[in-house]
């Protein structure tokens, strides 16, 4: 019979996350049919590794259980696919900068380090994209290739492109240029602060770009010079009021005072917004899109797992092992 | 990549891959109520804003999940369902597109890839039908069983009623005699080059 060519087996109803806590919001799932298990093996295998499910995954009673997910996440295929995905998500195209991101993400995943290390770990990436410990490193944000790519063209050397990219990468902040001639980049900081058309995004709103850039290294070379050169000294001794508004529960009071890029990153990665954004990246990796309101349960499982362990692989496992990840009959 | 709901009727569904859609996933929890943004501190931004405000409210749990299989998965996927990858797959990378090294590109299917997928399916099904002559010994009157078994083998799911109707109509148009290997190969290729196989 035709069906003889289809190896059947496996399931897709993992019911716990790495913290060992069953999701109370998860709906009970009936035992999947053989076809559903085969579909689940295909979805899990391709979503995590980009390749067809191997024999072990297809033979597993539950293809999306934690043991299978852990096994797949130990493979080079997963590490390459996930690091490449994150590099593409966090950069503006394939470049030396995205290669640096790829290298550090892959290193953090392979080494079992907390996800925060991607953004503030003491790393240096060499020309072969090997990652080394270096106390001067700060995730990939002090890598010369990355700095050069996002040096920007602000006339006084403020790294506005870098500021935006950091906010986007760590917190998921997005901005679109609202002023027709903003791309010309010829307005100095005093103009951006005094011009109402600029002041909003650069100074007044949350995560004002100039407020962030004020904490970052400055470009000392002229705009559009390659390789760019930088000053490691921050433009001012300290920057104030990055996060202007108090949250309802008082997590961050007005007037947080920060000193330099490391202080900035410490504040950002300790925030709930960092964890939220990380889970949105993981959701997009696994779903091909961000989560909808109806998909809050697996997303919350991701938040719980990442908060508990700090490991991005646990975040991936939380969503992929959720009963809703695989298609049911 | 956001997928979209499948049209109600797709007469040429079996021949034309229209891209990822949500066949079958809708049975998960169709009555799931949207969850309102809350003051959950895990979903509050640094400035006190709701981080869930941009979530789509029109995607039910399980919907819009099918994605195009990447080229790198097709070798194993054809082997999984056919027993062997079709000749020509190794030269088809440019038709499907691949991610640059150390990066990621969500696969999409353009017209060239559709043609290539169908050509590959014909090549694969030629051997598949020949190796299973007993399963394809009937004429178009036996199409229902064949369509069902092809869907199970290639899609790992039953056909929806409109898909099954399209399969039967197509079989009636191309299978002219009992044991018409060429006709059954076209039916097989139509199923194998459809979204049911090319998505995950």
Question: For the segment B134-168, what is each residue's pLDDT rounded down to a tens digit?
Answer: 999 999 999 999 999 999 999 999 999 999 999 99
Asked if the Cβ–Cβ distance from B102 to A2 is below 8 Å, we say no
pLDDT at B21: 35
Out of A38, A94, A207, closest to residue B100 by CB = A94
Sequential DSSP letters for B9-45: --TTTTT-----B-TTGGGS-TTPPPPPP---GGGB-
Give the integer Cα–Cα distance in Å for B140 and B144: 8
pLDDT at A186: 64
Q: A-B interface: how many C-beta pairs under 8 angstroms?
A: 196
**Range of weakest confidence among A66-80, A195-209, A254-268, B160-174:** A254-268
Give the integer Cα–Cα distance in Å for A266 and A244: 17
Q: Does B2 touch chain A (CB under 8 A)?
A: yes
ipTM of the prediction: 0.84
**Range of weakest confidence among A300-304, B24-28, B178-182:** B24-28
Alpha helices (H) along B28-110: 71-82, 93-96
DSSP lists the bridge partners of residue A218 as A231
Nearest CA in chain B to A90: B103
Give the integer Cα–Cα distance in Å for A43 and B66: 9
Maximal CA-CA distance, chain A: 77
Instruction: Please give the average per-residue pLDDT across A135-157, as a whole number.
Output: 93
Nearest CA in chain B to A306: B42
User: Distance from B12 to chain A by nearest Cα, in Å?
Assistant: 23
Sequential DSSP letters for A124-163: EE-TT--EEE-TT-BTBTT-HHHHHHT----TT---HHHH
Long-range contacts of A229-238 (CB under 8 A, 24+ apart): A230/A147, A230/A151, A231/A157, A234/A259, A234/A260, A234/A261, A235/A158
Q: Is A240 helix (H, G, I), strand (E, B) or coil?
A: strand
pLDDT per residue as tens digits for the range A217-269: 889 888 777 777 777 655 544 544 344 433 334 334 445 677 788 888 998 99
Average pLDDT, chain B: 85
Among residues of chain A, what percentage have pLDDT more than 70?
80
Q: Return the closest-CA partner of residue A214 out of A262, A165, A144, A261.
A: A261
pLDDT at A30: 56
Give the integer Cα–Cα distance in Å for A233 and A216: 8
Q: What are phi and psi of A124, to 5 degrees?
A: -135, 135
pLDDT per residue as tens digits for the range B46-94: 877 899 999 999 999 999 999 999 999 999 999 999 999 999 999 999 9
- CA B75 to chain centroid: 16
pTM reported for the whole predicted model: 0.85
| A15 class by beta-carbon count within 10 Å (0-12 exposed, 13-18 middle, 19+ buried) | middle
Q: Is A318's pLDDT higher than 70?
A: yes
Chain B environment of A98 (Cβ under 8 Å): 102-103
Q: What are phi and psi of A85, to 5 degrees?
A: -65, -50
Q: Does B24 touch chain A (CB under 8 A)?
A: yes
Q: Does B47 touch chain A (CB under 8 A)?
A: yes
Q: Is A129's pLDDT higher than 90?
A: yes
Q: Is A246 helix (H, G, I), strand (E, B) or coil?
A: coil
**Residue B184, token pair as written in the block:** 């059954």
**Residue A234, token pair as written in the block:** 């921050």
Chain A environment of B135 (Cβ under 8 Å): 1-2
Out of B55, B73, B132, closest to residue A292 by CB = B55
Chain B environment of A129 (Cβ under 8 Å): 102
Most trustworthy range by pLDDT among A8-12, A27-31, B51-55: B51-55
Nearest CA in chain B to A7: B80
């Amino acid at each position: 019979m035709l069906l003889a060519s289809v190896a059947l087996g496996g399931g897709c109803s993992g019911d716990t996350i790495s913290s060992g806590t069953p999701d109370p919001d998860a709906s009970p799932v009936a035992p999947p049919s053989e076809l559903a298990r085969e579909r689940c093996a295909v979805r899990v295998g391709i979503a995590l590794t980009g390749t067809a499910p191997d024999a072990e995954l297809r033979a597993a009673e539950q293809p999306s259980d934690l043991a299978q997910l852990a096994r797949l996440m130990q493979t080079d295929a997963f590490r390459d696919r996930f690091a490449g995905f994150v590099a593409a998500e966090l950069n503006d195209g394939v470049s030396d900068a995205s290669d640096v991101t790829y290298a550090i993400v892959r290193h953090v995943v392979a080494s079992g380090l907390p996800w925060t290390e991607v953004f503030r770990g003491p790393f240096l990436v060499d020309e072969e994209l090997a990652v080394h410990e270096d106390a001067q490193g700060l995730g990939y944000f002090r890598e010369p290739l990355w700095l050069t790519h996002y040096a920007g063209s602000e006339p006084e050397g403020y790294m506005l492109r870098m500021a935006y990219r950091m906010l986007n990468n760590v917190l998921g902040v997005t901005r679109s240029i609202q002023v027709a001639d903003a791309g010309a980049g010829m307005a100095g900081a005093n103009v951006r602060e005094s011009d109402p058309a600029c002041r909003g995004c650069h100074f007044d709103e949350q995560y004002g770009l100039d407020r962030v850039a004020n904490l970052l290294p400055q470009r000392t070379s002229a705009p559009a010079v390659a390789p760019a050169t930088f000053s490691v000294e921050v433009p001012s001794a300290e920057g104030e009021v990055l996060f202007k508004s108090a949250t309802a529960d008082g997590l961050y009071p007005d007037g947080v005072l920060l000193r330099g890029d490391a202080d900035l990153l410490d504040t950002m990665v300790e925030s709930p917004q960092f964890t939220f954004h990380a889970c949105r990246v993981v959701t997009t990796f696994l779903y091909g899109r961000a989560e909808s309101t109806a998909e809050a349960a697996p997303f919350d499982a991701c938040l719980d797992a990442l908060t508990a362990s700090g490991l991005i692989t646990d975040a991936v496992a939380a969503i992929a092992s959720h009963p809703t990840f695989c298609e049911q009959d | 990549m956001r997928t979209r709901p499948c049209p109600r009727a797709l007469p040429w569904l079996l021949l034309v891959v229209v891209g990822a859609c949500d066949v079958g996933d809708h049975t998960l929890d169709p009555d799931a109520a949207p969850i309102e943004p809350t003051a959950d501190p895990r979903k509050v931004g640094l400035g006190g804003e709701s981080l869930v405000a941009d979530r789509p409210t029109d995607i039910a749990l399980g919907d819009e999940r099918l994605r195009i299989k990447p080229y790198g998965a097709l070798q194993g996927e054809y082997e999984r369902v056919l027993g062997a990858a079709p000749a020509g797959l190794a030269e088809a990378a440019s038709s499907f597109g691949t991610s640059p090294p150390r990066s990621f590109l969500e696969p999409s299917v353009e017209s060239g890839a559709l043609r290539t997928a169908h050509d590959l399916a014909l090549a694969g099904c030629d051997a598949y039908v020949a190796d299973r002559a007993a399963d394809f010994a009937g004429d178009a009157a036996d199409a229902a069983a064949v369509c069902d078994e092809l869907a199970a083998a290639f899609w790992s799911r039953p056909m929806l009623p409109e898909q099954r109707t399209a399969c039967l109509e197509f079989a009636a148009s191309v299978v002219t005699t009992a044991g018409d290997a060429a006709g059954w190969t076209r039916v097989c290729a139509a199923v194998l080059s459809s979204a049911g196989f090319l998505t995950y």
